[in-house]
Amino acid sequence: MKIKKRYLFFSLIFLAALLFILRGSEDDWICDNGQWAKHGNPAHSKPTGTCGPISSYDAQFIGYFYPNYGKTEIFIESPPLKTIEECRDWVEVQHDNYSYKESESTDYDYECGKDCTIGDKYSAGVKYTCQLSVD
């Protein structure tokens, strides 16, 4: 009988601890329908960026212009774009306006990401993370 009570007691403690861990932080800012909502009493101020998917566009594209082909650590990220054509046009403008040094090659690269959300999911130094690279 004592063993069953101990087993039940430790099982309840374990389940309570697991529930506490899985439910996450009570004091944080959460993204709710594209708006930052206070959850509990966060220690830090409201995030300044927007949250959630970019919902104001039917097709969501973000352009990435790499002025030096092969050096992907140097890039310019576009604002949200509506179409793949708009992304390609943005890249051409970036290329035309980029100040290349005399010693630099003018060979460039680019990509147009589709279905992008706010956030640097892979710690790549970007504002958006895209589900698919179209171009």
CA dist 73 and 82 (Å) reads 25
Task: Evaluate the CA torsion angle 101, 106, 109, 112 in order and state its sign.
Answer: positive
**What are phi and psi for residue 108, nearest 5 degrees?**
-130, 170
pLDDT of residue 11: 72
Q: And the tokens for 122?
A: 């892979």
Going by pLDDT thresholds of 50, 70 and 90, the confidence category of residue 19 is low
pTM above 0.95, yes or no: no
Q: Each residue of 50-105: pLDDT tens digit?
A: 666 555 444 589 999 999 888 888 899 999 888 899 999 999 999 999 888 877 77
Give the single-character DSSP code of 122. T
